[in-house]
Chains A and B, each alone.
Chain A
Amino acid sequence: DTGVSQDPRHKITKRGQNVTFRCDPISEHNRLYWYRQTLGQGPEFLTYFQNEAQLEKSRLLSDRFSAERPKGSFSTLEIQRTEQGDSAMYLCASSLLPTWQTTGETQYFGPGTRLLVL
């Protein structure tokens, strides 16, 4: 068990460019979450997947953001036409929800991708 991994760890881009982040969850974890954390604040929920289905999206996830989890394993988060306000740490978390449970399982976080938009 190698934990949740994220790539890249750091990304610097110019305003208007597109960026894509990848998250690899803990093996066999069926739920995957994306959060955004700005400096000095707690993480804010963006979206989550159960297997390949995207079940919930926050209002923070504007039309410029899109997330996928095509085969129910790794996930990508793409930001199109980046803005300076997108500068933040993007955190991924995963969890294993047993079939007999509907919620309450522990989420395990990755190291995050720190995005700076110039």
Chain B
Amino acid sequence: AQTVTQSQPEMSVQEAETVTLSCTYDTSESDYYLFWYKQPPSRQMILVIRQEAYKQQNATENRFSVNFQKAAKSFSLKISDSQLGDAAMYFCAYRSAGFGSRLTFGEGTQLTVNP
């Protein structure tokens, strides 16, 4: 079974600074998808960014980018120019490219943005 580990329960960043959230995963599969979701307090989970394992190029979405290291099974999220609205719980998630469609989530990282 696949597992996802987020080793940073909490992180903080100053507004306008850059922060990196870590995620590692364990799988024996070669083809899969990785996601970062954001869950603001009392609000629904929103997709931040996704990465297909067969793509070598790291995904980027505006201020959000990932560092995908397939051999190391590492998938970190970098948030540039942090904004107060970025404060949330961030979850890393894995999804097999095979038949099963479930997302396997990590424990989450609570991000605080200080003004």
B33, B37, B47, B108: the one within 8 Å of A104 (CB): B33
Residue ID in chain B nearest A3 by CB atoms: B44
CA distance A55 to B99 in the complex (A): 10
Among B35-84, those with CB < 8 Å from A are: 35, 37, 43-47, 50, 52
The distance from the CB of B97 to the nearest CB of chain A, in whole angstroms, is 6
How would you classify the secondary structure of chain A's contact residues: helix, strand, loop or mixed?
loop
Contact sample, A vs B, 15 pairs, CB 8 Å cutoff: A33-B102, A42-B107, A43-B105, A44-B105, A48-B102, A56-B101, A91-B45, A93-B45, A103-B98, A103-B99, A103-B100, A107-B103, A109-B44, A109-B46, A111-B43
Q: Is the interface of B mostly helix, strand, loop or mixed?
A: strand
Judge whether A110 and B44 touch: CB under 8 Å: yes
A69 interface contact, C-beta 8 A:
no
Q: Is B104 an interface residue (CB 8 A)?
A: yes
**CB-CB contacts of A58-94 with B at 8 A, as 1s and 0s?**
1000000000000000000000000000000001010
* Residues in chain A within 8 A of chain B (CB atoms): 3-4, 31, 33, 35, 40-45, 48, 55-56, 58, 91, 93, 102-104, 106-112
Contacts of A48 in B (CB 8 A): 101-102
* Chain B contact residue count (CB 8 A cutoff): 27
Instruction: Choose among A31, A41, A103 the residue with the greatest number of B CB atoms under 10 Å from its CB.
Output: A103
Q: B25 interface residue, CB < 8 Å from A?
A: no
Q: CB-defined interface of B17-47 with A at 8 Å, one 1/0 digit per residue?
A: 0000000000000000101010000011111
Q: Enumerate chain B residues within 8 angstroms of A56, measured Cβ to Cβ.
A: 100-102
Q: Which B residues are CB-close (under 8 A) to A106?
A: 35, 47, 50
Most chain A CB within 10 A, of B33, B50, B102, is at: B102
Cβ A43 vs Cβ B103 within 8 A: yes
> Do A33 and B50 form a contact, CB below 8 Å, given A42-B108, A109-B45, A112-B44?
no
Residue in B closest to A105 when the chains form the complex, CB atoms: B101
The minimal Cβ–Cβ distance linking B34 to chain A, given in whole angstroms, is: 11
